[in-house]
Amino acid sequence: MHHEKILILDFGSQYTQLIARRVRELNIYSEIHPYNKIPSLDDNWKAVILSGSPFSVREENCPVPELTNIKGKLPILAICYGAQFLANKYGGEVLPSKIREYGRANLSYINSSSLLFENINLNSQVWMSHGDTITKLPSEYELIASTKEVTNAAYSFEDEKIYGLQFHPEVYHSKDGGLLINNFLINICNCTQDWTPESFVDNTINELKIKLCNDKVVLGLSGGVDSTIAAVLLDKAIGKNLYCIFVDNGLLRKNEFNDVLDQYKGMGLNVKGVDAKEDFYSVLEGVSDPEKKRKAIGAKFIDVFDYEANLIENVKWLAQGTIYPDVIESVSVSGGPSATIKSHHNVGGLPDFMKLKIVEPLKTLFKDEVRRIGKSMDVDSQLLARHPFPGPGLAIRILGNITSEKVRILQEVDDIFISELKSHNLYDDVWQAGAIFLPVQSVGVMGDERTYENVVALRAVESTDGMTADWVHLPYDFLALVSNEIINKVHGVNRVVYDISSKPPATIEWE
Per-residue pLDDT of 394-443, as tens digits, reads 999 999 999 999 999 999 999 999 999 999 999 999 999 999 999 998 98
Q: Above 50 in pLDDT, residue 504?
A: yes
Per-residue pLDDT of 146-176, as tens digits, reads 999 999 999 999 999 999 999 999 988 899 9
State how far the Cα of 22 lies from the Cα of 18, in Å rounded to an integer: 6
Up-side HSE of residue 50: CA atoms within 13 Å toward CB? 30
Across 442-466, average pLDDT: 85
Query: Residue 328's pLDDT is what?
Result: 60
Query: Residue 81's pLDDT is what?
Result: 96
User: Which sequence positions are flagged as catalytic?
Assistant: 80, 168, 170
Q: pTM of the predicted model, to two decimals? A: 0.74
CA end-to-end distance (rounded Å), the chain: 37
- Check whether the bond before 169 is cis (ω within 30° of 0): no
Query: Residue 302's pLDDT is what?
Result: 84
State how far the Cα of 112 lies from the Cα of 121, in Å rounded to an integer: 9
Q: Above 70 in pLDDT, residue 353?
A: no
Q: Above 90 in pLDDT, residue 65?
A: yes
Per-residue burial over 87-97, b if 16 or more Cβ lie within 10 Å, else e, is bbeeebebeeb
State how far the Cα of 135 lies from the Cα of 53, in Å rounded to an integer: 18
Query: Residue 331's pLDDT is what?
Result: 44
Most confident of 77-91, 338-352, 389-403, 494-508: 77-91
The strand order across the sheet containing 125-136 reads: 29-34, 5-10, 45-50, 76-79, 162-165, 154-157, 142-147, 93-110, 125-136
State how far the Cα of 163 lies from the Cα of 157, in Å rounded to an integer: 6
Parallel/antiparallel/unpaired status of strands 154-157 and 142-147: antiparallel
Per-residue pLDDT of 173-219, as tens digits, reads 899 999 999 999 999 999 999 899 999 999 999 999 999 999 999 99
Cα Rg, the chain, nearest whole Å: 25
